[in-house]
Chains A and B, each alone.
Chain A
């Protein structure tokens, strides 16, 4: 009976521990990524050469709907994007749903296809740095 109780307690401790470890690790990764500079643009990071047609189309969508608050993915009226490691589905969700003062964009404003392209561009811009520019 005593052994069963200890085993149950150990199991109960281990599950939350694993859970919290995962959450903590994710948080640390996010914070570490968030510490990177958001600055982009040819003078700072070198020219961003876009060869992917989807990314090029996404760049145009970004220029019309996003640049005004996040110029080059940097902060402005709104926060910086380049230092927020949002996964693909969250970029799309936030574009559709909005968050806080960020407006939402309907299918009529940004079509499903454009949203995919836009997400490609946002991620490519985030990953663009001096090393990738020199390659």
Chain B
């Protein structure tokens, strides 16, 4: 009996050491490492399922975010022109030749990030993130002529205008991220860099809401003197009161919207997302969105929420800033260790949020996504999603790198499996674990014939307590093909 008791204690101790030491171990995020260029690239260091082959299509790109193909199947890539860490370069639309050489089709000004590109009916459509001038959807003809279909999208904050895709109705669908982490502008937004540029900027709901009157006290980072109270959906330093009504607007924060390819007013498809970064349509015409979930930062930190894959429900609020999926944030599971429990910000939730299609890793930073349509490639009907990887410690602490891979999801069951990961004993970007594998997969897209999967790799992005440290000319495009017959 004594031996049994001791063995039991050892087992308990082992379990405790293994699973309960979150507080004891330092964060070990994907970007928490040192990097000195040049980046090493080696397809042999990327693991894919048996029968598939990885190759490099282009490298030395600066912050690539999206890929598309014209009617002749030629490859085009957008470089962002901006990265977290407040680094501006020139946003560009590039054509990638067979030898990996690039040709510039169009360039933008200092208003990145260009987040994603799609080709439809003879023109490119680019989401211009709009950190300085506001978000735009750009139409670019093959000769480089650029016009804005819409401007002044609410993109001055943490998250930007994202992922255009052409819908079955011929309209251009795009995502608009939120200004803040969870509805309240705070000191973390000053750290991101935008609050001092745009001190009046805040989140905008997609329909009228009534506030509960929750306020959050912080230092006044705008003046450096005293303390201020800030309410939800209001500028920094502006408190709210119970029953206060915030008028809804379109365009809104955290929304998926659509616009005619000829321009005009945007229509709201759905809202209540946090950062609907990747958009795609399933083979049967349903809209799916990847959504980057809450961080453990700022005035209203949230802990342990999944990045989400949504099948978008038209006209529906999807839960931000009071739910994650269909779970209320008031559940104790989402209270960060050592920080206050969460309370609702909205008194009259428009609806109970729908259930997500799949729950991805917390802080995985789910990016661009696309459905396999080819029996030759395999996994037809599964959606493939690029997971950029965590930005710990900025987003909160993680025990191991999260994301940094391409996954595939069975949208009928929500079951997720890895598709492309780095080889090695541990997961992580090549700059952290060694070798020449993936760094920051940000988008995926199948070739028009469906037989090749292209992975857009943003390049090296380090993180420390001061924020992001991006490294230009470390981006790459990978291609995965399958040899053999149908699976």
- A interface residues (Cβ-Cβ under 8 A, vs B): 15, 18-20, 22-23, 26-27, 30, 34, 37, 39-44, 46-48, 59-60, 63-64, 67-69, 71-72, 74-81, 84, 86-87, 90, 94, 99-103
- In the assembled complex, B107 has its CB within 8 A of some CB on chain A: no
B333 touches A103 (CB 8 A): yes
Nearest A residue to B52 via CB reads A43
- In the assembled complex, B419 has its CB within 8 A of some CB on chain A: yes
Q: Tell me the complex Cα distance, A100–B397, Å.
A: 15
Cβ 8 A contact of B420, one of A43, A74, A101: A43
- In the assembled complex, B48 has its CB within 8 A of some CB on chain A: yes
For B416, what are the chain A residues with a Cβ–Cβ distance below 8 Å? Answer: 63, 67, 71-72
- In the assembled complex, B7 has its CB within 8 A of some CB on chain A: yes
Q: Tell me the complex Cα distance, A103–B336, Å.
A: 11
A30 touches B414 (CB 8 A): no
A87 touches B11 (CB 8 A): yes
* New A-B contacts (10) at CB < 8 Å, excluding given A60-B413, A63-B359, A101-B23: A19-B3, A27-B14, A42-B49, A59-B415, A67-B359, A67-B360, A68-B306, A69-B361, A71-B361, A90-B11
Shortest distance between the CB of A24 and any CB in chain B (Å): 9
B19 touches A78 (CB 8 A): yes
B402 touches A18 (CB 8 A): no
- In the assembled complex, B302 has its CB within 8 A of some CB on chain A: no
* Contacts known (A44-B423, A101-B337, A103-B332); A79 close to B362, Cβ less than 8 A: no
- In the assembled complex, B20 has its CB within 8 A of some CB on chain A: yes
B14 touches A30 (CB 8 A): yes
Nearest B residue to A80 via CB reads B400
For A63, what are the chain B residues with a Cβ–Cβ distance below 8 Å? Answer: 358-359, 413-416
Cβ 8 A contact of B50, one of A46, A48, A75: A46
For B245, what are the chain A residues with a Cβ–Cβ distance below 8 Å? Answer: none
- B interface residues (Cβ-Cβ under 8 A, vs A): 2-3, 6-7, 10-12, 14-16, 18-23, 47-50, 303-306, 332-333, 337, 358-364, 398-402, 413-421, 423, 425-427
* Contacts known (A42-B418, A42-B419); A99 close to B363, Cβ less than 8 A: no
Most chain B CB neighbours (cut-off 10 Å) among A18, A67, A84: A67
* Contacts known (A42-B49, A102-B20); A30 close to B10, Cβ less than 8 A: yes
For B305, what are the chain A residues with a Cβ–Cβ distance below 8 Å? Answer: 68
Shortest distance between the CB of A130 and any CB in chain B (Å): 10
Cβ 8 A contact of B21, one of A30, A46, A59, A79: A79
For A39, what are the chain B residues with a Cβ–Cβ distance below 8 Å? Answer: 425-427
Shortest distance between the CB of B132 and any CB in chain A (Å): 33
Sort A-B residue pairs by CB-CB distance and give the 7 closest, nearest first: A75-B400, A41-B418, A100-B20, A43-B47, A68-B306, A103-B333, A101-B22
Q: Tell me the complex Cα distance, A84–B399, Å.
A: 15
Shortest distance between the CB of B319 and any CB in chain A (Å): 15
B359 touches A64 (CB 8 A): yes
For B3, what are the chain A residues with a Cβ–Cβ distance below 8 Å? Answer: 18-19, 22-23
Shortest distance between the CB of B14 and any CB in chain A (Å): 5
A68 touches B11 (CB 8 A): no
Most chain B CB neighbours (cut-off 10 Å) among A37, A44, A71: A71
Shortest distance between the CB of A39 and any CB in chain B (Å): 7
B419 touches A84 (CB 8 A): no
Shortest distance between the CB of A64 and any CB in chain B (Å): 6
Shortest distance between the CB of A15 and any CB in chain B (Å): 8
A42 touches B417 (CB 8 A): yes
For B49, what are the chain A residues with a Cβ–Cβ distance below 8 Å? Answer: 42-43, 46-47
A sample of 11 cross-chain residue pairs with beta-carbon separation below 8 angstroms, ordered by A number, consists of A39-B425, A40-B418, A43-B421, A60-B413, A63-B414, A63-B415, A68-B306, A79-B21, A86-B15, A100-B19, A100-B21
For A86, what are the chain B residues with a Cβ–Cβ distance below 8 Å? Answer: 11, 14-15, 18
* Contacts known (A63-B358, A84-B19); A69 close to B423, Cβ less than 8 A: no
